[in-house]
């Protein structure tokens, strides 16, 4: 990485106001350990629905303690006092295309008699409990002073708490892996969301690394001058309880031409801008981080 690359990428970073607009975790005005997401000012991005991206949608704060909205089928479902979902079958289409008459996954028409093509054992959600915004750490306090460029990507699984980080990858400007680990979620896993996360049961068996360990590791690598590149990085930073200033966000670099409230999927971007093959398998956190870095460098 040259000084020149750093300078060019620095010009692409989001401004302070954008960080708030796009829902990045920001310092709470009165509580330095707490974050705010600026949700009220954030456009509600809908992704370009070439591929499903259920758990990867934007986090919302839980408003009602006893119910949640299913990320997959959008039904309101009940949870117990601890927030655990009651077992209830979830029927959904994994590839949802809001403005098309047919679902891409199965070709069924909307409101077709057969209903959705996939059934899961229970509903899942990605809403955040208010306490998920506590204990945030601004990277400006970290000791690393060097000018670094990293792309960061997390994969998440559905747990009794909603979604939790299950793998993290950090790659440098040469797309070499600097840090990568699987993470043991704090609560029981309900669904590995394999279609999106690429993770299966055996991937997370015997993993001892906790989210807190990962946060400490990352804070030893990322400093106030580090440029972080990512694809929907606001969600990853929220999960990692990290407040960072220098963000290059791929969804902003490649806006949707005719629907500004939508964002292209990473699959669409890699196919159309990097001329990489159209893969049907889910990208894992490493491949997603590498793709995000390549897309950012491509835009310089
Ligand atoms: Zn379907
Ligand atoms: Zn559901």
3-state DSSP assignment of residue 295: helix
Q: Where are the domains of the chain?
A: 3-44+136-298
CATH number for region 3-44+136-298: 3.30.420.10
Distance 101 CA to ligand 1 centre (A): 12
> How far is the C-alpha of 80 from the C-alpha of 89, rounded, in Å?
16
Task: Please give the model's pTM, rounded to 2 decimal places.
Answer: 0.85
**Confidence at residue 49, expressed as pLDDT on a 0 to 100 scale:** 38
Give the pair of three-digit tokens for residue 41.
């000012």
| Separation between Cα atoms, residue 86 and residue 77, nearest integer Å | 8
Number of Cβ within a 10 Å radius of residue 17: 10
How many whole angstroms from 10 Cα to the centroid of ligand 1?
Answer: 42
- 3-class DSSP state for residue 92? strand
What local confidence, expressed as pLDDT, does residue 283 receive?
64
Q: Give the per-residue pLDDT at 169.
A: 94
Supply the pLDDT for residue 281. Answer: 59
- β-pairing verdict for 242-243 and 90-92: unpaired
Identify residues whose C-beta is under 5 A from ligand 1, the ion.
Answer: 93, 103, 105-106, 117
How many angstroms does the Cα of residue 88 sit away from the middle of ligand 2? 8
Retrieve residue 265's tokens.
Answer: 């999927």
Q: Where are the alpha helices (DSSP H) in 160-299?
A: 194-197, 201-204, 211-219, 233-239, 250-253, 266-273, 285-298
pLDDT along the chain (300 residues), means of 10: 89 91 86 74 41 52 78 87 84 75 82 85 86 87 90 94 93 94 92 86 92 95 95 92 94 83 82 76 82 94
Interval between CA 94 and ligand 1 midpoint (Å): 6
């Amino acid at each position: 990485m040259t000084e020149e690359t750093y300078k060019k990428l620095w010009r692409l970073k989001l401004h302070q106001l954008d960080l708030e607009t796009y829902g990045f975790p920001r310092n709470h005005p009165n509580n330095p350990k707490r974050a705010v997401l600026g949700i009220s000012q954030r456009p509600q991005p809908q992704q370009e629905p070439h591929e499903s991206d259920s758990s990867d949608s934007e986090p919302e704060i839980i408003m009602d303690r006893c119910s949640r909205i299913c990320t997959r089928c959008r039904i309101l479902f009940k949870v117990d006092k601890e927030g655990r979902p009651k077992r209830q079958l979830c029927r959904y289409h994994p590839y949802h295309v809001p403005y098309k008459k047919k679902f891409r996954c199965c070709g069924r028409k909307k409101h077709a008699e057969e209903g959705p093509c996939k059934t899961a054992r229970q509903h899942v959600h990605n809403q955040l409990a208010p306490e998920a915004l506590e204990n945030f750490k601004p990277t400006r306090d970290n000791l690393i002073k060097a000018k670094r460029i990293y792309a960061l990507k997390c994969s998440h699984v559905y747990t009794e708490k909603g979604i939790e980080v299950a793998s993290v990858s950090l790659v440098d400007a040469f797309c070499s892996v600097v840090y990568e680990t699987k993470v043991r979620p704090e609560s029981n896993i309900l669904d590995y969301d394999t279609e999106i996360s690429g993770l299966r049961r055996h991937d997370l068996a015997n993993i001892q690394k906790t989210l807190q360990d990962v946060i400490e590791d990352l804070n030893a690598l990322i400093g106030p001058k580090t440029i972080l590149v990512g694809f929907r990085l606001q969600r990853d930073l929220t999960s990692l309880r990290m407040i960072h200033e220098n963000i290059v966000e791929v969804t902003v670099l490649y806006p949707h031409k005719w629907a500004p409230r939508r964002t292209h999927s990473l699959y669409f971007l890699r196919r159309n801008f990097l001329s990489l093959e159209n893969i049907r398998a889910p990208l894992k956190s490493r491949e997603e981080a590498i793709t995000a870095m390549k897309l950012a460098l491509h835009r310089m």
